[in-house]
């Protein structure tokens, strides 16, 4: 039983390490949508 538990822990650590490496090396594309927002003049002090 302890051997099975040890194998599951090692497998979980491998999965977590693989996920961390994947997220560290994944080149997420930057958003390309342009956002324009009109801010009313009343929001700025004069």
Where do the domains of the chain lie? Answer: 2-39
Whole-model pTM above 0.75?
no
Residue-level pLDDT at 39: 87
Residue-level pLDDT at 3: 94
DSSP 3-state assignment of 32? coil
Q: What is the pLDDT of residues 1-46, one digit of tens each?
A: 899 999 999 999 999 999 999 999 999 998 899 989 998 888 887 7
Give the H/E segment covering residue 12: helix 2-25
Query: C-alpha angle with apex 10: 7 to 13, nearest 5 degrees?
Result: 150
């Amino acid at each position: 039983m302890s051997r099975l538990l040890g194998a599951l822990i090692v497998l979980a650590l491998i999965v977590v390490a693989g996920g961390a490496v994947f997220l560290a090396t994944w080149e997420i594309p930057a958003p390309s949508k342009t956002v324009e927002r009109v801010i009313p003049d009343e929001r700025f002090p004069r």
